[in-house]
């Protein structure tokens, strides 16, 4: 949480583009640390601190990070 919030702020996205917040249950316990991206409503799973720069790059480019996406499979 802190790493993602810090990266978003460092890139100047916190004021208008992105909001990082904690959440209660997202029903994704089996996938470890999970990030929900709205309004596109997709999840990243098994997220680590090392993934944060790539996640923020995806937000900037408006492209999901495919290797982190959770699918229905």
- Token pair, residue 47, equals 């997220």
The answer, yes or no, to whether residue 65 has pLDDT greater than 70, is yes
Q: What is the domain count for the chain?
A: 1
Mean pLDDT of 33-60: 96
Q: Nearest Cα to 39, choosing from 14, 69, 19?
A: 19
- Band the pLDDT of 73: cuts 50, 70, 90: low
Neighbours of 33 (CB within 10 A): 14
- Measured CA to CA, the distance from residue 10 to residue 6 in angstroms comes to 6
38 lies in some domain: yes
Q: How many residues belong to the chain?
A: 73
pTM score, whole prediction: 0.89
Instruction: Write out the residue range of the structural domain in which residue 6 sits.
Output: 2-68
pLDDT in tens, 2-11: 999 999 999 9
CATH number of the structural domain spanning residue 62 = 3.40.30.10
């Amino acid at each position: 949480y802190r790493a993602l919030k810090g990266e978003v702020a460092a890139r100047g996205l916190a004021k208008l583009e992105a909001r990082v917040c904690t959440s209660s249950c997202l029903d994704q316990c089996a996938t470890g640390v999970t990030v929900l991206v709205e309004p596109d409503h997709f999840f990243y799973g098994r997220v680590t601190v090392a993934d944060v720069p790539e996640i923020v790059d995806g937000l900037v480019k408006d492209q999901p990070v495919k290797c982190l996406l959770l699918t229905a499979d």
